[in-house]
Amino acid sequence: MGLDIRWPIGIMFSLIGVIMVVYGLATGGDVEMYKRSLGINVNLYWGMILLGFGVWMLLLASRAAKAAAGK
């Protein structure tokens, strides 16, 4: 079927990653909020991982699309 699933996966995780990173930066000073995650700003760090994963998926999808266009 003509849809490369890596596009929606990449877009979704990039969006979620951006939201979590921005929220993590905005709430970074809230010590009370991050007490439950053992003092780690999980939104910032995990958001960056999700964003990285999303961008990687988008790169894979665009590379596959370029390869398919050449064939």
Which residues of the chain form contacts with another protein (CB under 8 A)?
1-3, 5, 8-9, 11-13, 15-16, 19-20, 23-24, 27, 33-34, 36-38, 40, 42-43, 46-47, 49-50, 53
Q: What minimum distance in Å lies between the beta carbon of 63 and another protein?
A: 15
Gap between the Cα atoms of 53 and 27, Å rounded: 23
Q: What minimum distance in Å lies between the beta carbon of 15 and another protein?
A: 5
Print burial letters for 43-58: b (CB count within 10 Å at least 16), e (below 16): bbebbeebbebbeebb
Nearer to another protein, 8 or 65 (CB): 8
